[in-house]
């Protein structure tokens, strides 16, 4: 149980375009979803926290107008990287939480901006 999926697993886009990443909790309802970014050989950095039906809370230094998060239902959250640039190339990982003491992580999405 507690499976989280992400789609796509890998995306390549051109500089200036936007790309959407989906995060789904497959077998549970997630009250909270989190979005992380991980650069090569570095740790996961929390970008934002979102609760279903409300606006996401962004971490300091994360541009909310560039990284749009929508948490439309208890099983789906999306992250849209707008006007992507090569420096946005990274591994984006979501996690979902149904109770306070655990986060279940998705498999990640590798974004390459050319």
Partner 1 sequence: QKEVEQDPGPLSVPEGAIVSLNCTYSNSAFQYFMWYRQYSRKGPELLMYTYSSGNKEDGRFTAQVDKSSKYISLFIRDSQPSDSATYLCAMSPYISASKIIFGSGTRLSIRP
* Rounded distance between C-alpha atoms, residue 77 and residue 23, angstroms: 5
Asked if 110 interacts with partner 1 (CB under 8 A), we say: yes
Gyration radius of the chain over CA positions: 13
Residues 114 and 110: their CA atoms lie apart, in Å, by: 13
* Site for partner 1, residues 2 to 41, rule: CB under 8 A: 4, 6, 32, 34, 41
Q: How many residues bind partner 1 (CB under 8 A)?
A: 25
Q: Contact region for partner 1 (CB under 8 A) — 12-20, 64-72, 78-86, 87-95?
A: 87-95
Residue 70 contacts residue 87 (beta carbons within 8 Å): no
Q: Contact region for partner 1 (CB under 8 A) — 11-19, 63-71, 72-80, 98-106?
A: 98-106
Which pair of tokens denotes residue 75? 């099983």
Q: Does 42 bind partner 1 (CB under 8 A)?
A: yes
SS3 109: strand
Contacting residue, 88, 106, 111, 113, with partner 1 by CB under 8 A: 106
């Amino acid at each position: 149980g507690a499976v989280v999926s992400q789609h796509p697993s890998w995306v390549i886009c051109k500089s200036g375009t936007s790309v959407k990443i989906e995060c789904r909790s497959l077998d549970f309802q997630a009250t909270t979803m989190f979005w992380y970014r991980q650069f090569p050989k570095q740790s996961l950095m929390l970008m934002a926290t979102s609760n279903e039906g409300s606006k996401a809370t962004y971490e300091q230094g994360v541009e909310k107008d560039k990284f749009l998060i929508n948490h439309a239902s208890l099983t789906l959250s999306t992250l849209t990287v707008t006007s992507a640039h090569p420096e946005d190339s990274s591994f984006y990982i979501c996690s979902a939480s149904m109770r306070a003491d655990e986060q279940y992580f998705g498999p990640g999405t590798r974004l390459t901006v050319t």
